[in-house]
Chain A
Amino acid sequence: MTDAPMPLRLATTDARTEPWLVRWIITGLAIAFLTVFVVLPLILVFAEAFSRGAAAYVAALLDPEGMAAIKLTLLVAAISVGLNLIFGVITAWAIAKFDFAGKSFLISLIDLPFSVSPVISGLLFVLLFGMQGLFGPWLQAHNVQILFAVPGIALATIFVTFPFVARSLIPLMQEQGTQEEEAAISLGASGLQTFFRVTLPNIKWGLLYGVLLCNARAMGEFGAVSVVSGHIRGETNTMPLLVEILYNEYQFVASFAIASLLAMLALVTLVVKTVLERQLDEGQQLRDD
């Protein structure tokens, strides 16, 4: 007598199992594509950077021009991420928690930087602050340098990266509604207490996610910055701009050394992004309970 239960075979497991040949071909194609278009270039960047040995690599990074570019990039990223963090939270708050006329207009305005070519974004600031521009003569008269200097680069970067924080917060805040804030207020909490004790903890993962993407774009931005920077060596070249300049001058090791830093930024961003997405998903599940 065999009373052992028969293993259950469900028809569905068969239904989604393709013949092994098909599976191999599809998977192989995907891997081949990713290898050629993503992995190989990444390896090449590092291979080229280290082609004359580690010493040449380090020397390229420590070059005054390289150091200046790294410092400028970090400075611009810090300014634009910091300001976009504040403005992004304010904008998302206004859109998610209040009703007012022109709200949908404001929402589409937030997306504008994404739909405009970065070069146009840069040009916009030239038209505003350039010598022939709207505020140019006044600025020159008062000896304020915006274009071809840090303020211009920062402004262009802020413009291009503005949507990230607001975009990642709006759906989250809309979904959470205003009830918890109302509860906090009716329990006697002040506006600031409500923000720091109730709102911020609820949006922290979304906020970090937005900041991360904002930072990656701020450091990597080329087009808009290229237009407003003026390419003054050692002064207004960010890392992406320097990569191009060095490459055009056939300084391949130096060019790829700087590029490798940007590649590493991308890899770190990718890892942190995955972790944050997992956290956001968990928060989602908690709420759906």
Chain B
Amino acid sequence: MTIELKNLVKTFGSFAALDGVDLKIEDGELLALLGPSGSGKTTLLRIIAGLDWPDSGGVWFDGENALARGAGERHVGFVFQHYALFRHMTVFENVAFGLRVQPRAIRKDEAAIRARVKELLDLVQLDWLANRYPSQLSGGQRQRIALARALAIAPRILLLDEPFGALDAKVRKELRRWLRTLHEEINVTSVFVTHDQEEALEVANRVVVMDKGKIEQIGTPNEVYDRPATAFVHSFIGESIVLPVNVSDGRVWVGDQALNIKPNGATPGPSQLFVRRHDMQVGPAGSGLRGSVRYVRTFGAIQRADIALAAGDGETLIEIDTPRDRELKQGDVVELQPTRFRIFSA
């Protein structure tokens, strides 16, 4: 199912959680909403689910106005950040809940409900926990039961709020891979919210980067990482070296040193230069950005060096990753050459 969001606005008091959001989610897609806390991503998810209502704007499911329907009539599977399992029910009854509360006319009989729950518990590989209570499960197990419960109603969309947020690193990695595989298997349009860029880039087909209630960029993980649309996206996704620069006379200046790069049409004036750590290389003499090596450590094929830049007022320390074919030593004076970079006006 496709989901279309048009100009969504939602405020809590004076705080604008969503400030005019437009988004089209394609059928069968696995989409990540990525942003820092307070960026509005969870609010967006809750509005799609019908747990919150926008102040203005529209939500369309397959061209049909979803705002005309309550949460229960939207057939949306929602997995809560802290799972929200029914604590007084067994795992089995938790998963069966959505089937048991259906109107009598369309409710399955007991045998069919049991079969369906069994099938879902098999799907999440936890059928052996059917008679336990949520408090007796580990975090990862609760997460999967919450997912099975959401899938029980055969949802048209699956929404997951920080699905791996409360888990430890190892379980998180496993579950990520598992969610990907599961999505390929059931192929239901899915949207998940995360503040973890690695998670978004690894799991999703497409990533929506949000900040302060607005969408900053929509794109595939590669697009978002390689061609960040804004300064925010560049600094939020992946680690970057950020240098205050000045663009004038068709050159890029750090203090009084001109870099050996072209501004690529950046508007003249004070700007910010963004370079990934591995895109800042030691260049030939005349590259322009001079600094001295403070500290070097090696990780396998690369060496990571702290370099104190000479330019600008005061001393700026940056960290770069370079191949080990040219060994750096503490105290070396080097000139740096960005191989790939972005300039955003400040």
Contacts and interface: CB of A to CB of B under 8 A. Distances in A.
Interface of A: 179-180, 182-190, 193, 197-198, 201-202, 286-287, 289
| Chain B interface main SS type | loop
A188 B153 contact: yes
Contacts of B72: 185-190
A286 B135 contact: yes
A168 to B, nearest CB: 18
Contacts of A189: 72, 97, 101
B276 interface: no
A271 to B, nearest CB: 25
Nearest to A286: B135
A287 B142 CA distance: 13
Given A185-B72, A186-B76, A289-B135, A180 B87 contact: yes
Interface stretch (B77-85, B113-121, B300-308, B331-339): B77-85
Nearest to A189: B101
B262 interface: no
Q: How large is the interface on B (under 10, 10 to 19, 20 to 34, 35 or more residues)?
A: 20 to 34
Interface string B75-114: 1111010101111100000000110011000000000000
A180 B71 contact: no
A185 B73 CA distance: 9
Given A186-B49, A186-B72, A286-B133, A180 B101 contact: no
Interface of A is mostly: helix
B23 interface: no
A287 B136 CA distance: 10
B223 to A, nearest CB: 32
Given A287-B135, A289-B136, 20 more contacts: A182-B78, A182-B80, A183-B78, A183-B85, A183-B86, A184-B97, A185-B72, A186-B49, A186-B78, A188-B72, A188-B73, A188-B98, A188-B101, A188-B102, A188-B153, A189-B101, A197-B101, A198-B86, A201-B88, A202-B87
Interface of B: 49-51, 70-78, 80, 82, 84-88, 97-98, 101-102, 133, 135-136, 149-150, 152-153
Q: Which 7 A-B pairs have the closest CB atoms?
A: A179-B84, A187-B98, A189-B101, A289-B135, A183-B84, A201-B88, A188-B72
Contacts of B150: 186-187
Contacts of A197: 86, 97, 101
Contacts of B136: 289
Given A193-B101, A198-B86, A186 B71 contact: yes
Contacts of B50: 186
B108 to A, nearest CB: 13
B55 to A, nearest CB: 16
A47 to B, nearest CB: 46
Nearest to A202: B88
Contacts of A202: 87-88
